[in-house]
A and B are shown apart, each in its own frame.
Chain A
Amino acid sequence: MKDHLLSAADLSRDDAILVLDTSAEMAQLTEGRSVKKLPTLRGRAVVNLFFEDSTRTRTSFELAAKRLSADVVNFSAKGSSVSKGESLKDTALTLEAMGADCVVVRHWASGAPHRLAYSGWIRSSVVNAGDGTHEHPTQAILDAYTLRKHLGSVDGRRITIVGDVLHSRVARSNVLLLATLGAEVTLVAPPTLLPVGVEHWPCQTSYDLDSVLVKADAVMMLRVQRERMNAAFFPSAREYSRRYGLDARRFALLPDDAVVLHPGPMNRGMEITAEVADSDRSVIVEQVTNGVYVRMAVLYLLLAGGRE
């Protein structure tokens, strides 16, 4: 594996399988044990550098690092492009001076983790925990892990991703990783919410959810912000959920063993109904659990595995 995890495209097929297998080992080593801690990263420092609020992702990384016995520092540097405050560079230099071995960064600007990794400001490993509308690679890994667990393998499986692809870092990372793993991915969204150039992505696209669902092995619903309707991406929340929401009728179109994913947080009643979100084929809560194993695997491979 590379020194950093910035994009799902950084993972070759072998890398991706290694991370998934390692995640499974992490699950085995901790599940059902009273003491869930492993000594692997004792004495190493992991910094969670969050320029944007995200309790879920930060907590998941924190728990992952702690289970590997790393020292964890949470560094919240909330700032906007308008009121920059301390610059990314100065924050990075501070963390470097404190001796961070790994920086897990969440940032509102696409490419900020890339800048951290390659500007020569710091030497530590950088893990992208979500940057702007670019990528969120550990989310894609945990989705792939969850899919593999339920479908046996991702290779050749038909995965449908529905919603605001344009603004979704989750969708970008998932398309790249799932394609690497051999899945057939179909993006479904209104044309306004598909990025220009999506025809060059390693996936199919469709504007019609019903026709895609009948063949899907899994469907991933993306969060859609209601405010997008004010920027004319769609006329109203009602119309959006009628055309692209996963309700009971659409759920019934899915093959019997298909599963439903959502990266959270959900807008119940918008992209997904409560009935579907809480059904026994929804693996949404399990995704959260798997997130910890996957992040343990990533930290382990970056900090202990790859450099020995």
Chain B
Amino acid sequence: MSWLIRGARVLGGEPTDLLLDDERIADVGRRISSRGATVTDADGLLALPGLVDLHTHLREPGREDAETVETGTQAAALGGFTAVHAMANTDPVADTAGVVEQVWRLGREAGYADVRPVGAVTMDLAGERLAELGAMTDSAATVRVFSDDGRCVSDAVLMRRALEYVKAFDGVIAQHAQEPRLTEGAQMNEGELAGRLGLRGWPSVAEEAIVARDVLLAAHVQSRLHVCHVSTRGSVEIIRLAKERGFPVTAEVTPHHLALTEDLAATYDPRYKVNPPLRRADDVAALRVGLADGTIDAVATDHAPHPVEDKDCEWDAAAFGMLGLETALSVVQETMVDTGLLDWAGVADRMSARPARIGRCDGSHGRPLAAGESANLVLVDPAASRVIDSRELASLSRNTPYEGMTLPGRVVATFLRGRPTVLDGKLA
């Protein structure tokens, strides 16, 4: 089946038509003849390449009460994503070829977005022995990103070896930068507010110390380091310096760290409990500037579904994490586009092209919207706005920090290899 999209503004440019045929973009231009294609009117809508998330928790296998590959990729499609990288901290952990292939296959069967499994760096995320990184790479899942996310590879020797080892197959180590001893029992950003609320602090230095060590290790062994969910001004500065020196380093920031601050913790509502924690307005400002100037390569959601009972409790007892897939683009529009920091071409670069390149998505994602490319794209109405209602989310979980907030923009349609996964803002 072929689709003709009429009058979409590609990357915010002049209205143009896009013909999608046989999984590819067949033609881009003015007044393309429909030639039997289904026509969809995109007047006033933006066309962006399908978004790519480097950091998604799909929870399957193991926590199907929180999310499944199917519901998680449905949420992804509704958020405009055509590919997601599924983090390894499942149960069992994705530390073998068997588990990553299972997750990859579940993604294929669901068909809402390409699922690129992330392999664990160490067996069972224990930080002791390397997992079989090569076997995961050679599996059907073709893993290129490895991460113990949720835990830091804190052992410097193990981190060095992991970085060295993945050079053999162009892999990347995605580090959850958190010095474990400095953050034992940590609950929120360390600072005046944490002291007042009596919540154990998670100091910026615990992130920055690991980022500093790792960029030096990456330079030393000349292998690719990716820094997950950068949350502090200091980390941005270290990464900026590393890039100036030509170190092989990339980084991501989450939508919630671009939008929200630690002040929300004063409610003691665990909806706002996340790791790394929400920081101060000064950090938020630095993260936005870092994303705008390219120091930070990508926006990654760190979509972290949790069942109600893990959030409807005391702050200390609650799980860390927030939903992100279905609100990411809106949050980026509000914090980066509507503030003038990034244009839509910039959004496409940070949410599609660069993450696809970091994840080595094989030329099918993160490509320009041009004839001959894979037909992965999203149509967005930037003039729309919506009130976030967690009951309307496709995710199995409800832990969005944006409940009741009005956010700009709406995903109208998402196409995965020429086939709509979302039409009229609903799953197709």
Pairing of A with B: yes
Name A residues whose Cβ lies closer than 8 Å to a Cβ of B.
Answer: 81, 84, 87-89, 107-112, 114-115, 118-119, 131-135, 169, 172, 195-198, 200-201
Q: Is A110 touching B190 in the complex (CB atoms < 8 A)?
A: no
Q: Is A114 touching B268 in the complex (CB atoms < 8 A)?
A: yes
Q: Is A88 touching B313 in the complex (CB atoms < 8 A)?
A: yes
Is B109 an interface residue when CB atoms closer than 8 A count as contact?
A: no
Q: Is A81 touching B317 in the complex (CB atoms < 8 A)?
A: yes
Contacts of A87 in B (CB 8 A): 309, 312-313
Quick one: which of B191, B313, B315, B317 contacts A196, CB cutoff 8 A? Answer: B191
Q: Is A115 touching B314 in the complex (CB atoms < 8 A)?
A: yes
Contacts of A196 in B (CB 8 A): 190-192, 194-195, 201, 203
Q: How far is the CA of A87 from the CA of B193 in the complex (A)?
A: 26
Q: How far is the CA of A111 from the CA of B316 in the complex (A)?
A: 9
A-B contact pairs, 11 of them (CB 8 A): A81-B314, A81-B316, A84-B313, A111-B199, A111-B314, A114-B268, A115-B268, A115-B314, A195-B195, A197-B191, A198-B195
Q: Is A131 touching B317 in the complex (CB atoms < 8 A)?
A: no
Is B36 an interface residue when CB atoms closer than 8 A count as contact?
A: no
Chain A residue nearest to B309 (CB atoms) is A87
Besides the contacts A88-B317, A110-B198, A197-B196, what 5 more A-B pairs have beta carbons closer than 8 Å? A115-B315, A132-B198, A196-B190, A197-B194, A198-B195
Chain A residue nearest to B316 (CB atoms) is A109
Q: How far is the CA of A84 from the CA of B195 in the complex (A)?
A: 25
Q: How far is the CA of A119 from the CA of B318 in the complex (A)?
A: 14
Quick one: which of A111, A115, A198 contacts B198, CB cutoff 8 A? Answer: A111
Smallest CB–CB gap between A110 and chain B, Å?
4
Is B197 an interface residue when CB atoms closer than 8 A count as contact?
A: yes
Q: How far is the CA of A131 from the CA of B268 in the complex (A)?
A: 12
Would A88 and B195 be within 8 Å (CB), given that A111-B268, A115-B268, A196-B201 are in contact?
no
Contacts of B193 in A (CB 8 A): 197
Q: How far is the CA of A169 from the CA of B195 in the complex (A)?
A: 10
Q: How far is the CA of A119 from the CA of B191 in the complex (A)?
A: 25
Q: How far is the CA of A219 from the CA of B5 in the complex (A)?
A: 77
Q: Is A132 touching B316 in the complex (CB atoms < 8 A)?
A: yes
Chain B residue nearest to A135 (CB atoms) is B198
Q: How far is the CA of A178 from the CA of B201 in the complex (A)?
A: 25
Q: Is B268 touching A89 in the complex (CB atoms < 8 A)?
A: no
Contacts of A131 in B (CB 8 A): 198
Smallest CB–CB gap between B187 and chain A, Å?
8
Q: Is B195 touching A197 in the complex (CB atoms < 8 A)?
A: yes
Quick one: which of A89, A111, A201 contacts B312, CB cutoff 8 A? Answer: A89
Smallest CB–CB gap between A138 and chain B, Å?
16
Contacts of A119 in B (CB 8 A): 312
Smallest CB–CB gap between A283 and chain B, Å?
26
Which B residues between 291 and 340 are near A, CB-CB below 8 angstroms?
309, 312-317
Contacts of B194 in A (CB 8 A): 195-197
Q: Is B313 touching A110 in the complex (CB atoms < 8 A)?
A: no
Q: Is B315 touching A110 in the complex (CB atoms < 8 A)?
A: yes
Smallest CB–CB gap between B90 and chain A, Å?
22
Smallest CB–CB gap between A10 and chain B, Å?
13
Q: How far is the CA of A180 from the CA of B362 in the complex (A)?
A: 64
Q: Is A111 touching B196 in the complex (CB atoms < 8 A)?
A: no
Q: Is A89 touching B198 in the complex (CB atoms < 8 A)?
A: no
Chain B residue nearest to A9 (CB atoms) is B196
Chain B residue nearest to A134 (CB atoms) is B198
Smallest CB–CB gap between A287 and chain B, Å?
22
Q: Is B191 touching A109 in the complex (CB atoms < 8 A)?
A: no
Contacts of A107 in B (CB 8 A): 314
A-B pairs with the 8 shortest C-beta distances? A197-B192, A134-B198, A111-B268, A195-B195, A110-B198, A109-B314, A109-B316, A133-B198
Would A172 and B317 be within 8 Å (CB), given that A111-B268, A196-B191 are in contact?
no
Would A110 and B197 be within 8 Å (CB), given that A81-B317, A84-B317 are in contact?
yes
Q: Is A200 touching B192 in the complex (CB atoms < 8 A)?
A: yes
Q: How far is the CA of A71 from the CA of B290 in the complex (A)?
A: 60
Quick one: which of B203, B309, B314 contacts A112, CB cutoff 8 A? Answer: B314
Smallest CB–CB gap between A204 and chain B, Å?
16
Contacts of A132 in B (CB 8 A): 198-199, 316
Q: How far is the CA of A89 from the CA of B312 in the complex (A)?
A: 7
Smallest CB–CB gap between B291 and chain A, Å?
27
Q: How far is the CA of A114 from the CA of B315 in the complex (A)?
A: 10
Smallest CB–CB gap between B179 and chain A, Å?
15
Q: Is B190 touching A109 in the complex (CB atoms < 8 A)?
A: no
Smallest CB–CB gap between A91 and chain B, Å?
11
Smallest CB–CB gap between A178 and chain B, Å?
16
Contacts of B200 in A (CB 8 A): 133
Q: Is A169 touching B198 in the complex (CB atoms < 8 A)?
A: yes
Contacts of A198 in B (CB 8 A): 195
Smallest CB–CB gap between B204 and chain A, Å?
11
Chain B residue nearest to A6 (CB atoms) is B268
Q: How far is the CA of A109 from the CA of B198 in the complex (A)?
A: 9
Q: Is A110 touching B199 in the complex (CB atoms < 8 A)?
A: yes
Chain A residue nearest to B201 (CB atoms) is A196
Q: Give the residue among A88, A111, A132, A134 with the most B Cβ atoms within 10 A.
A: A111
Contacts of B199 in A (CB 8 A): 110-111, 132, 134
Q: Is B191 touching A88 in the complex (CB atoms < 8 A)?
A: no
Contacts of A115 in B (CB 8 A): 268-269, 313-315
Contacts of B197 in A (CB 8 A): 110-111, 134
Smallest CB–CB gap between B206 and chain A, Å?
13
Chain A residue nearest to B191 (CB atoms) is A197
Smallest CB–CB gap between A3 and chain B, Å?
17
Q: Give the residue among A87, A89, A109 with the most B Cβ atoms within 10 A.
A: A109
Q: Is A172 touching B196 in the complex (CB atoms < 8 A)?
A: yes
Chain B residue nearest to A82 (CB atoms) is B317
Q: Give the residue among A87, A108, A110 with the most B Cβ atoms within 10 A.
A: A110
Chain B residue nearest to A89 (CB atoms) is B312
Q: Give the residue among B191, B193, B201, B314 with the most A Cβ atoms within 10 A.
A: B314
Q: How far is the CA of A87 from the CA of B270 in the complex (A)?
A: 14
Contacts of B190 in A (CB 8 A): 196
Contacts of A169 in B (CB 8 A): 198
Q: Is B317 touching A109 in the complex (CB atoms < 8 A)?
A: yes
